[in-house]
Each structure stands twice: as C-alpha cells, then as structure tokens.
C-alpha cells in the first residue's frame, strides 16, 4: 500500500516536471517568435524607409529635370521673340528705305535740271525752258511721294552730320559757324540723310 502511494507521488512529480518543462518551452518559443516579429517589423521599417528615400530622390530628380526643361523653353521663347522683333525691324527698314538706291541715282538728274533752269531764257528758248520746268516739277513731286525732302541750309548752324563744308568765308553780317551759301543741295529720305549738302560756312 505504501509502495503504491509512493509510486503515485512519483508520477505526480514527473507530470508536474513535464508540465513545467512544457511551460518553459512555450515561453521560450513565444520569446523567440516575439524576437522574430520585432526583427521582421524592423526589416519592414528599414525597407519602407529605403523605398521612401528612393521615391523622394526620384521626385527631386524629376522636379529638377522639369525646371531645366522649363528654363530651356523660356530661353527658346525669348530667342524666338528677339528674332521676330529683329526681322520685323529689318522688314520695316527695308520697306521704309526701299527707294534709296533709286533716289541716289535720280539726285544727279535733279542737279542737272536745276543747272539747266539757271540758264537765261529768251523768246526762242522759253517754250523749251517751260518744258524742262514741268518735267523737273513732276520729278520733284514723284520723289516727295517716296519721302525725299530737301534740306534747308542757308542761315542754319553748321552740322557735320548733314552738311559737307567745302569752303570757309568771313562774313561780318553772318553768325559764326553758320551756313552762308549752298553749293549743292542735300536730301533726306524720310528721317535718313541720303546726301549731305555741300556748303560754305562762316568762320
């Protein structure tokens, strides 16, 4: 009887030890699982951080490329605008002064007409002189339509930009550095000097 009781106690002790061992094993397993979960979460956090950093770098790169492209577009637009303005100015200048070469060729003809009209006229040459005068006036009017204008010189202050001094004189009745006589007419084409006037200038 005593032996059976002792054997029963031994079994209970063994069972308790087994239970304690099982509990200890479960505890170790839970701790290891918790460690694995922490490591997994840390790994996920690091991966997310790396992905976030990579995405931000990509966004920064795309933003920089977009800004560079925007600046390039602005430069091209500015160059194109300057080209259009320059082309328009050249076109306007060409249109404005397109008659310059023709006028340059006709000015000597005007000079010859004026010399011819300075000749003394008599009854025999009057009709001929009238014809020359009529042609001269028509030519002068035609040039005026294209913007040709005679310079006013006598009595004006000498200006080397529009006057070509061929002689200096001393005239007490005229102011110094003024034009006292015109030797050859000067002309403008609109606002451009196409031929300076040849003049005598008072000292």
Looking at residue 57, what is its pLDDT?
Answer: 78
pTM: 0.54
Tens-digit pLDDT profile for residues 136-154: 999 999 999 888 999 999 9
Looking at residue 149, what is its pLDDT?
Answer: 92
Looking at residue 111, what is its pLDDT?
Answer: 92
CATH number of 97-202: 2.30.22.10
* pLDDT lower than 70: segments of the chain: 1-51, 92-97
Looking at residue 2, what is its pLDDT?
Answer: 45
Looking at residue 11, what is its pLDDT?
Answer: 55
Render the chain in DSSP notation, one character per residue: -HHHHHHHHHHHHHHHHHHHHHHHHHHHHHHHHHHHHHHHHHHHHHHHHHHHHHHHHHHHHHHHHHHHHHHHHHHHHHHHHHHHHHHHHHHHHHHHTTTHHHHHHHHHHHHHHHHHHTS---TTTHHHHHHHHHHHHHHHHHHHHTTEEEPP-TTSBP-TTTEEEEEEE--TTS-TTBEEEEEE--EEETTEEEEPEEEEEE-
């Amino acid at each position: 009887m005593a032996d059976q009781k002792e054997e029963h106690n031994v079994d209970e002790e063994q069972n308790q030890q087994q239970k304690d061992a099982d509990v200890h094993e479960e505890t170790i397993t839970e701790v290891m699982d918790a460690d694995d979960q922490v490591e997994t979460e840390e790994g996920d956090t690091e991966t997310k951080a790396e992905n976030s950093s990579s995405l931000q770098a990509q966004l920064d790169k795309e933003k920089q490329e977009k800004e560079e492209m925007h600046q390039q577009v602005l430069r091209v637009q500015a160059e194109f605008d300057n080209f259009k303005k320059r082309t328009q100015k050249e076109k306007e200048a060409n249109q404005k002064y397109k008659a310059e070469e023709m006028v340059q060729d006709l000015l000597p003809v005007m000079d010859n007409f004026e010399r011819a009209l300075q000749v003394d006229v008599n009854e025999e040459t009057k009709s001929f002189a009238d014809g020359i005068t009529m042609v001269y006036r028509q030519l002068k009017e035609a040039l005026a339509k294209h913007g040709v204008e005679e310079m006013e010189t006598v009595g004006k202050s000498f200006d080397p930009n529009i006057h070509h001094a061929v002689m200096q004189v001393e005239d007490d009745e005229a102011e110094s550095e003024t034009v006292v006589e015109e030797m050859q007419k000067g002309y403008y084409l609109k606002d451009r000097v196409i031929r300076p006037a040849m003049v005598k200038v008072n000292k």
